Structure 1
């Protein structure tokens, strides 16, 4: 019996599609649980919003949410049976009628109220922020928006994201100071661990900075371009570790990086750059009045696109990867879990490529904006 290639492909595709629906462990029990959850979903929606997750799907969702949020402690993992957290606490620095400094261990992983100099604080489970409360730790929420109405003090704590940024900064400092010293000792020849990064440095100079900025001006931007590339790359790689580090998937971080590019672009721009924005040459004067606000809007849109692109790609990658990993615990069959593991492994490899790609794109676009800011135009308006 001979089966055609098309028929064989159809059978294989149908089998793969049906695999997630195959369960070989306690099918009757699983069905009962699903029916019970669906039956009580509407009646207990308000209660479930504040209660601890009990079923597997809710636990997976809670874990994913915890993974992408910042935290005031660095937790590696938790033993569900004993409730023991493995990790270490971080310093809490709050400005509220003076500086309040204490360890995050006082919060007992968000379950307790922390007291400092007669003030009481509690971490809200929904957003991970610290709010000022009474001794009982009461957090009141607005009936319409659902946001806490408690006073939120100025939080200057060393969070998990801040610690990751400091680690990345220290790594970059030692790696590239060592690379620079090796150049001086060996007459321009790199040695040591820094040799791994030398081709990347040359690539950024020869393929990003010089083509987009030009031979005349690229040197004054090289320090920033190298810093921003490796900074984003290291943080992206940290995000692939199983410690819940999601720095570049944080909108405030990408906003800060985009603001730096925005300030450098506009503070170092020449008169030709501003002339093309406010009084574009070669265009009829009535049209210049119309185009000037549009061009000025583009000055703001450029860094905004940098911010959103980096944030969206990294954040979405974390959500998708963690969701696929969570499927291994939702599927109660060795086939479905094996497929989820294989897919998550392949996606992890792809995320490594994305980590490099997003660092490259941010650096490339920054160099392109710098090149537009210092571009010299030698034409005269009369020639148009």
Structure 2
């Protein structure tokens, strides 16, 4: 218990060290502005601030401008975010402003509109950002784990699991026996298992990685959650049988005049399902990060020693709660996907 408490205090202390300089730097814009700084995507991987010096890992900037490819390190922007230090690449001059890259105007700067937003042209940006790098790391972890488990099964056959098998096998059986079979059925679940296992472990591992100090907020990025939801929508739509479409366009037992109302509602429901999947995962993960950072930020807002122990205690409790949320959100996304698949392949005589 003491070791667990010490680890929690060390984790929260590291987070505090990470956010306090940002807090001071953005005090004029509001004392909570540092929260959004830590949950948004970036072109470099910020590790920690020591005094006024930021320690970051530069990531590749990959831009396409007028059909020409420009590749360079994000370190060439010198960690500025106000567009004051341009990067000249041949005929093109690039500026970074709020983690977006623009082409410099004829004066070598940014042209702002009345609302303070740049009006400069943007190159086509396919850079390896912090979230992309985190996703690649998680994919590498997933491949390493499952190739290791698969090779052990090939070598030892069906036997008592050892090592990483002891962790992975119960989770695989849980997805199969508690999610796939009850919601899809014994006759159809197997073809959906690769996707269900992939999405479960992808979300779960990235949720856990997102809790590490300085980590990326991948599953709190709505583009990632939307992509996963779109895959669920596509698989559901292309797996659907006649009975599924019959219940949308010609519902049994419904008077024909009511079909004029029910058909648009059912079609709308097809598209609201992936939207709900997207927002549910994005909102829950993002909210967890914001709450933890807000609790730790209280130390710097009130600037009181008395607030420190309370913030650390609450932050520690919230961090452990987020470990549970990491599993729950992976479970819920996989569960709802399996329910949609089950509805798409259900036969008319099934009960």
Instruction: State the TM-score, normalizing by the size of structure 1.
Output: 0.80
1:13-162 equivalence runs, <5 A:
54=25, 60-80=31-51, 83-97=52-66, 98-110=68-80, 112-125=85-98, 128-134=99-105, 137-143=108-114, 145-162=115-132
Is 2:204–2:330's contact at 8 Å kept on the other side of the alignment? yes
The count of residues paired between Structure 1 and Structure 2 equals 323
Deviation at 1:208, TM superposition (A): 0.1
Structure 1 position 326 matched with structure 2 position 297: yes
Structure 1, 179-188 or 99-108: larger mean CA deviation: 179-188
User: What is the CA deviation profile of residues 290-324 of structure 1, one whole-angstrom value per residue up to 9, with x for unaligned ones?
Assistant: 20110000000001000000011111111111111
Structure label with greater radius of gyration = 1
Q: TM-score, normalised by structure 2?
A: 0.88
- Specify whether residues 136 and 86 from structure 1 end up closer, same or farther in structure 2 by C-alpha distance, changes over 3 A only: farther
Match of 1:237 in 2: 208
For residues 231 and 376 of structure 1, the distance between their equivalents in structure 2, rounded to whole angstroms, comes to 31
Deviation at 1:146, TM superposition (A): 3.5
C-alpha deviation, 1:57, in angstroms? 7.8
Q: Retained in 2: the 8 A contact 1:179–1:195?
A: no
- On the 8 A contact 1:113/1:135 being kept in 2, the answer is no
RMSD of aligned residue pairs (Cα, Å): 1.8
Instruction: State the SS of the aligned residue for 2:171.
Output: helix
- Any gaps of 5 or more consecutive residues in structure 1? 1-51, 380-384
Q: Which residue does the alignment assign to 2:260?
A: 289
Check whether the contact 1:169–1:231 (CA below 8 A) recurs between aligned residues: yes
Q: Are residues 290 and 58 of structure 1, via their aligned partners in 2, closer, same or farther at CA, if it must alter by over 3 Å?
A: closer
Q: Distance in 1 between matches of 2:113 and 2:222?
A: 24
For 2:188 and 2:220, how far apart are their aligned partners in 1?
32
Q: Once the 2 structures are TM-superposed, how far is the Cα of residue 241 of structure 1 from its aligned partner? A: 1.1
Provide runs of 4+ in structure 1 moved above 4 Å. 52-60
1:258 maps to 2:229: yes
Gaps of 5+ in 2: 1-22
Structure 1 position 183 matched with structure 2 position 156: no
What are the superposed Cα offsets for residues 93-114 of structure 1, whole Å, 9 maximum, x if unpaired?
A: 0111211111111111125211
Shifted more, 347-356 versus 210-219: the winner is: 347-356
User: CA 1:140/1:101 → structure 2, altered by over 3 Å: closer, same or farther?
Assistant: same
